[in-house]
Amino acid sequence: MPLYEYYCQPCHGVFEELRPMREASEPVPCPDCYEEAGRIMPTSFSAFTFRDGYPRKIPDDGTYWHLGKKVSKRLTGGRPNEHPEINKPKPKPGLTRGERSALTDMRETAAKGDLVDMFNNPIGPGEVRAAYERRDVIKKGVPSRLTPEMKRKFR
Ligand SMILES: [Zn+2]
């Protein structure tokens, strides 16, 4: 039997139901409030008017629907057609795959406390990216290329 989607207006619940195709368009009792729920056509799903734009899914697992996709948080700001869980922010541009893997290695080294800057101050995993962009990452024990005069100038 095919799976169909239904929307219960009184409790703003969306649920799925396995039904014979010939009964698909008949209302189904809502599993939560037992009111009759009508079928949602797949094509009308995103155009459907929900409570605050976010119906709940039954069984209620605390998620919301956003533009036909399940998300764990309601959109509280920003543009209505952008949700961080759907329109995932792209990684910062400008890094090659090689650089990204180098940064990953550096973070691992930093987590062990083996990364320092030119002044021999430890670099934490969270500081690796910034330090890398300043070209100021040195693995502990590797001699700095800076001469003592340069170090005095930078300090
Ligand atoms: Zn209901």
Quick: pLDDT tens for 44-103: 554 444 445 556 666 666 666 666 667 777 666 666 666 677 766 555 567 788 888 888
CA 53 to ligand 1 centroid distance, Å:
17
Residue 89 in any domain: the answer is no
Structure tokens that stand for 126 in this block:
């969270």
Same domain, 61 and 9: yes
Domain coverage including residue 57: 3-71
CA 9 to ligand 1 centroid distance, Å:
7
Reported pTM:
0.35
Same domain, 108 and 150: yes
CA 58 to ligand 1 centroid distance, Å:
9
